[in-house]
Structure 1
Amino acid sequence: MKFEMKEHGFETETEFGKLTISGNEEYGFRPYQLLVSSLAVCSGGVMRNILEKMRMPAENITIEVKEVHRNAEFANRVEKLHLHFIIEGHAIDESKINKVFELTKKNCSMAQSVIHSIELVETYEVRK
């Protein structure tokens, strides 16, 4: 990837189009939004694969960001992220969900990249 400076931030071209990143959300995605998105979507994608391998395919997974705690004293560093997963599927066995989350965290590259610097809180609900 290559990022080019623009008047209000940076841009990069991807195979899916232009991505504009700025510290001001009037002009593009803020860097912390991309960090949070990466953690949420990586976890959701890994979870989807694990559920399929466990023969409990999800019909839908919605991920709600319940909390992003940023420390203003340290460059607004992201210190805590609470992701709430709404897992829909008739074949979901709730007795296996703790194992699903354990495997998800272990196999999500984004979660593993921040595991010692950001507190990740994950909650869920299952809808049949």
Structure 2
Amino acid sequence: IKLERLDDAFHLRATNEQGNSVETDASPAIGGGGRGMRPMEMLLSSLGACSSIDVIDILRKMRQPLQDIKVTLNGEREKDKTPSLFTDIHIVFDLYGDLDVDKAKRAVDMSMEKYCSVAKIVEKTAKITREANVVAGKCNIASWFDFCNFAP
């Protein structure tokens, strides 16, 4: 990973060997311009992405017809400390498709307990809780705002 500074403040671009990139920035409270994700947001995103990849792979191996996945993460950090580490993280997995509920929940458990490397790092300082919701039916994956016409 290589980082390059994009302005005279905190706006950075991280690029991997394949040329994929993501932009980061600092909080406006310290002079950031809001032009990228903050590093701790990226950590939550990495946890969500890592576990999502696992869940998709596990459900595929279980021959479960996953049509889509939406993951929401919320983290609580230490107050008035530097560094301010995550102490609690809650992850909600919304799994769309005609899935066996027990298999779907098992896939989430397997990811978080066995496979997700990011979870294994983060759990050293934070309590990670999770829930899995299964929404049956056909989804229109292209329609993010009218997500499957369901209200999870």
TM-score range, shorter chain: 0.7 to 0.9
Q: Which of 48, 73, 81 is the matching residue for 2:80?
A: 73
Distance 1:62 1:38 in 2: 14
The SS at the match of 1:3 is strand
Superposition RMSD on alpha carbons, in Å? 1.8
Distance 1:85 1:52 in 2: 16
Alignment-derived partner of residue 14 in structure 2: 12
Distance 1:12 1:95 in 2: 39
Alignment-derived partner of residue 54 in structure 1: 62
Deviations 1:35-72 (A, max 9, x none): 0000011111100100011111310111122x210112
TM-score (norm 2): 0.73
Mind listing any 5+ residue stretches in structure 2 that lack a counterpart? 28-32, 137-152
Report % sequence identity: 24
Per-residue deviation at 1:85?
0.7
Alignment-derived partner of residue 101 in structure 1: 108
Higher RCO (CA-CA < 8 Å; seq separation 6+): 1
Mind listing any 5+ residue stretches in structure 1 that lack a counterpart? none
CA contact (8 A) 1:8 1:27 kept: no
The count of residues paired between Structure 1 and Structure 2 equals 125
